[in-house]
């Protein structure tokens, strides 16, 4: 299988195998009017298998907090004129704002819809996030 290289855009590499579609939805890449290539279960010397996302548009604003929340081992490469001009390593963000919703029915964010959904990283080793309002532990979907 051949996937063309992109001339201008972003490559998300070293995504843990099976997480590319989750990342695709969280980043709302389906709303873009450009080519997005999703490669799943690509051979990797480091991980065995990995996923890759290629976004062929240099005007896309990618939320690095979302990437760090989904998988902090992802490498973000910025491509200009077919060459990598910058590589960014992401990490789990200290705060997630309006990325995920609190599932606690008693949380103020459930009844007050205009309040930002804020989660704070409480344990970096286990990547545990808790709601800033009710302290409920974030459960992955």
Q: 99 and 71 share a domain?
A: no
Return the number of other C-beta atoms located less than 10 Å from residue 59's C-beta.
Answer: 8
Interval 41-97: pLDDT, tens: 999 888 899 999 999 987 888 899 999 999 998 999 999 998 999 999 999 999 999
Q: What global pTM score does this model have?
A: 0.84
pLDDT range class, residue 113, cuts 50, 70, 90: confident
- What's the confidence (pLDDT) of residue 139? 77
- The CA–CA distances, whole Å, from 45 to 14, 42, 50, 78 equal 11, 10, 10, 22
- What's the confidence (pLDDT) of residue 87? 94
Task: Please provide residue 130's backbone torsions phi and psi, each rounded to the nearest 5 degrees.
Answer: -130, 145
Q: 34 and 100 share a domain?
A: no
Q: 123 and 58 share a domain?
A: no
Q: 43 and 100 share a domain?
A: no
Instruction: Looking at 7-115, list the stretches that DSSP marks H as alpha helix, in order from N- to C-terminal side.
Output: 20-26, 64-70, 108-111
Number of domains into which the chain is organized: 2
Q: 16 and 61 share a domain?
A: yes
Q: 82 and 113 share a domain?
A: no
CA distance 94 to 77: 22
């Amino acid at each position: 299988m051949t996937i063309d290289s992109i001339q201008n855009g972003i490559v998300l590499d070293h995504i843990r195998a099976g997480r590319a579609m989750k990342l695709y939805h969280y980043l709302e890449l389906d709303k873009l009017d450009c080519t997005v290539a999703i490669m799943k279960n690509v051979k990797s010397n480091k991980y065995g298998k990995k996923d890759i996302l290629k976004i062929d548009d240099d005007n896309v604003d990618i939320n690095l907090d979302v990437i760090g929340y989904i998988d902090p081992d992802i490498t973000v490469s910025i491509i200009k004129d077919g060459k990598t001009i910058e590589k960014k390593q992401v990490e789990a963000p200290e705060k997630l704002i309006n990325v995920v919703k609190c599932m606690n029915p008693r949380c103020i964010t459930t009844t007050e819809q205009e309040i930002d959904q804020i989660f704070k990283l409480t344990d970096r080793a286990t990547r545990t996030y808790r709601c800033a309002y009710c302290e409920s532990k974030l459960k992955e979907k």
